[in-house]
């Protein structure tokens, strides 16, 4: 009999949280012996190489036997050096073998450090007025006060709003609910051109960076930007001397079918923030990768990067990350992500044909999702009081599938979505099982809310 919980605070007051006792491949098992497909890849989009790959804890154990912690102001560690070399050899476009890596702990640390670096770079480069970070509505970049300030989740922002630094947000690249009520490609990518406008409004001399997710995760349930979007963003950033930060916390490490999400647009960012799939959740670790030309300015000024946490570049975590990345490469998991992602979208489109409550199906590789609507023609969302994405999550869980419920499809307020991101190791049969349960769960939700 499991001891009742008295002291541990969980994400919700109104549900039971079964205890996980074992994980393997795409499955997690609870203390009642129930098996679930980890369809959200952890919470969420973390589990890249799947659960229970023994080489990872083995490498971490071997490192821990030597040491895990040491006075990091005076020494370094070999796994950190090796991991940095590996990451730079895999960086996209002109960043490949032409960048340097800063290793920290969480995705939020990475996005925070990415904007810190952008700001410090401009100060050190003799343009100290450049400080603004422009971001997008319906975006999520993490959860400390600074980062949540440039994230764009309207509902979540409300309570902490007075504590945020004021920063401009532009509309997302979200064709299904286009802010400009246009259709792609006739729209001429007004959503990208909005960055030009925002930079002019702030004055380019005040803008340090623009940050965006190539495929929007928790805030939009797997929405990739349309073709041409990031090419235009890159051109606008270049023309205005603004650094482009690609937030690859979710989209890195093969998740969308390429090593980096931004590679779908053939664009090289200036800074990448990444985490999650880099260690597949076996241990916390994150990184920023920035072009040599950025670090060079700090180096020439003999000015250390003004960031850092006590547990940065933890040797045990770095040893684990190296194994995870090599596993991902040797099993060509990015290719599996493309193939299984295609299967997922085809399967979901069939589900959509049978279920009028599904208004849109979207995604790239194994980062995909769908949106509920009360009326497909008008795209009217369900009332938030019905908590439709939460109903779906609970129904799927009863059938042994973990999904990630999201809200805020309509301007960050109402609008239920579901984000899916199973391990990149998922087989065709396992994907069929996942899709069967989703179809069943969607049917049950429709019955409940009709
Ligand atoms: C795009 C993106 N950036 C940053 C973060 C923050 O990462 P973490 O939760 O590890 O702090 C997340 C988390 O979901 C994310 O999806």
Give the model confidence (pLDDT) of 241-283 as tens digits: 999 999 999 999 999 999 999 999 999 999 999 999 999 999 9
pLDDT band at 148 (very low <50, low <70, confident <90, very high): very high
Q: What are phi and psi of 370, to 5 degrees?
A: -150, 165
**Six-digit token string for 303:** 């000015």
Q: Which residue is closest in CA terms to ligand 1's atom 8?
A: 107
Chain-wide mean pLDDT for the chain?
A: 97
pLDDT band at 135 (very low <50, low <70, confident <90, very high): very high
Is pLDDT of 131 > 60? yes
Which pLDDT belongs to residue 206? 98
pLDDT digit string (tens) for 391-427? 999 999 999 999 999 999 999 999 999 999 999 999 9
pLDDT band at 4 (very low <50, low <70, confident <90, very high): confident
Q: State if residue 143 touches ligand 1 by the CB under 6 angstroms criterion.
A: yes
Candidates 11, 111, 406: which one to mutate for ligand 1, based on the most atoms within 8 Å of Cβ? 111
Helix axis angle for 229-239 and 190-202, nearest 10°, is 20
Kindly state the percentage of the chain with pLDDT values over 70.
Answer: 99
CA distance 272 to 290: 6
Q: In this structure, are residues 134 and 168 in contact, taking their beta carbons and an 8 Å threshold?
A: yes
pLDDT digit string (tens) for 37-64? 999 999 999 999 999 999 999 999 999 9
Residues in Cβ contact with 113 at an 8 Å cutoff, skipping those fewer than 6 apart: 102, 104, 273, 288, 305, 307
Tell me the CA–centroid distance for residue 169 and ligand 1, in Å.
Answer: 18
Which pLDDT belongs to residue 3? 67
pLDDT band at 5 (very low <50, low <70, confident <90, very high): confident
Candidates 140, 149, 364: which one to mutate for ligand 1, based on the most atoms within 8 Å of Cβ? 140
Is pLDDT of 11 > 70? yes
Is pLDDT of 89 > 70? yes
Q: State if residue 106 touches ligand 1 by the CB under 6 angstroms criterion.
A: yes
**pTM of the complete model:** 0.98
Q: State if residue 283 touches ligand 1 by the CB under 6 angstroms criterion.
A: no
Tell me the CA–centroid distance for residue 376 and ligand 1, in Å.
Answer: 31
Which pLDDT belongs to residue 166? 87
What is the mean pLDDT of the segment spanning 366-375? Answer: 98
Q: In this structure, are residues 90 and 167 in contact, taking their beta carbons and an 8 Å threshold?
A: no
CA distance 296 to 301: 8
Residues in Cβ contact with 40 at an 8 Å cutoff, skipping those fewer than 6 apart: 402, 403, 404, 419, 420, 421, 422
pLDDT band at 2 (very low <50, low <70, confident <90, very high): low
pLDDT digit string (tens) for 387-397? 999 999 999 99
Which pLDDT belongs to residue 6? 86
Q: What are phi and psi of 89, to 5 degrees?
A: -70, -15
Is pLDDT of 93 > 60? yes
What is the mean pLDDT of the segment spanning 122-147? Answer: 97
Which pLDDT belongs to residue 154? 87
SS (H, E, C) the chain: CCCCCCCCCCCCCCCCCCCEEEEEECEEEECCCCEEECCCHHHHHCCCCCECCCHHHHHHHHHHHHCCCCCCCCCCCHHHHHHHHHHHHHCCHHHCCCEEEEEECCHHHHHHHHHHHHHHHHHHCCCCCCCEEEEECCCCCCCCHHHHHHCCCHHHHHHHHHHCCCCCEECCCCHHHCCCCCCCCCCCCHHHHHHHHHHHHHCHHHEEEEEECCEECCCCCCEECCCCHHHHHHHHHHHCCCEEEEEECCCCCCCCCCCCHHHHHCCCCCEEEECHHHCCCCCCCEEEEEEHHHHHHHHHCCCCCCCCCCCCCCHHHHHHHHHHHHHHHHCCHHHHHHHHHHHHHHHHHHHHHHCCCEEEEEEECCEEEEEECCECCCCECCCHHHCHHHHHHHHHHHCCECCEEEECCCCCCCCEEEEECCCCCCCHHHHHHHHHHHHHHHHHHHHHHC
- Between these two residues, 16 and 226, which has the higher pLDDT value? 226
Is pLDDT of 1 > 60? no
Atom of ligand 1 nearest to the CA of 142: 6
Tell me the CA–centroid distance for residue 291 and ligand 1, in Å.
Answer: 22
**Six-digit token string for 304:** 């250390």
Which pLDDT belongs to residue 293? 98
Q: State if residue 405 touches ligand 1 by the CB under 6 angstroms criterion.
A: no
What is the mean pLDDT of the segment spanning 94-111? Answer: 98
Which whole-number Å values give the CA distances from 339 to 362, 377, 413, in the listed order?
15, 31, 33
Which pLDDT belongs to residue 353? 97
Is pLDDT of 165 > 80? yes
């Amino acid at each position: 009999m499991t001891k009742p919980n008295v002291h541990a605070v969980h994400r919700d007051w109104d549900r039971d949280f079964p205890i996980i006792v074992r994980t393997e491949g795409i499955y997690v098992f609870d203390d009642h012996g129930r098996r679930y497909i980890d369809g959200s890849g952890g919470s969420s989009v973390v589990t890249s190489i799947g659960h229970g790959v023994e080489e990872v804890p083995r490498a971490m154990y071997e490192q821990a036997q030597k040491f895990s912690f040491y006075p990091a102001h005076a020494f370094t560690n070999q796994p950190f050096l090796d991991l940095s070399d590996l990451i730079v050899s895999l960086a996209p476009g002109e960043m490949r073998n032409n960048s340097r890596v800063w290793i920290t702990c969480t995705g939020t640390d990475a996005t925070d450090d990415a904007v810190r670096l952008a700001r410090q770079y401009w100060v050190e480069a003799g343009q100290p007025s450049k400080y603004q970070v422009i971001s997008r509505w319906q975006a999520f970049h993490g959860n400390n006060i600074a980062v949540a300030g440039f994230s764009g989740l309207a509902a979540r922002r409300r309570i902490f709003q007075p504590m945020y630094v004021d920063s401009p947000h532009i509309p997302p690249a979200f064709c299904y609910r286009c802010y400009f009520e246009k259709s792609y490609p006739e729209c001429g990518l007004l959503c990208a051109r909005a960055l030009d406008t925002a930079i002019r409004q702030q004055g380019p001399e005040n803008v340090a960076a623009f940050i965006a997710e190539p495929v929007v995760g928790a805030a939009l349930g797997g929405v990739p930007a349309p073709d041409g979007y990031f090419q235009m963003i890159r051109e606008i950033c270049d023309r205005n001397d603004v650094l482009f930060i690609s937030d690859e916390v979710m989209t890195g490490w093969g998740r969308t079918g390429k090593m980096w999400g931004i590679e779908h647009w053939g664009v090289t960012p200036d800074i990448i923030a990444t985490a999650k799939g880099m260690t597949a959740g076996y241990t916390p670790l994150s990184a920023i990768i920035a072009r040599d030309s950025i670090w060079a300015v700090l180096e020439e000024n003999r000015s250390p990067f003004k960031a850092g946490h006590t547990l940065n570049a933890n040797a045990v975590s770095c040893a684990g990350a190296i194994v995870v990345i090599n596993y991902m490469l040797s099993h060509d998991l990015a290719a599996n992500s493309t193939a299984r992602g295609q299967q997922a979208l085809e399967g979901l489109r069939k589900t959509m044909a049978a279920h009028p409550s599904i208004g849109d199906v979207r995604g790239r590789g194994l980062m995909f999702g769908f949106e509920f609507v009360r009326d497909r023609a008008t795209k009217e969302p369900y009332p938030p009081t019905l908590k439709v994405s939460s109903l779906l999550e609970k129904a799927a869980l009863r059938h042994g599938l973990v999904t990630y419920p999201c809200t805020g499809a309509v301007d960050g307020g109402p609008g239920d979505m579901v984000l899916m991101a199973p391990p990149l190791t998922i087989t065709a049969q396992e994907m069929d099982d996942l899709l069967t349960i989703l179809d069943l769960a969607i049917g049950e939700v429709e019955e409940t809310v009709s």
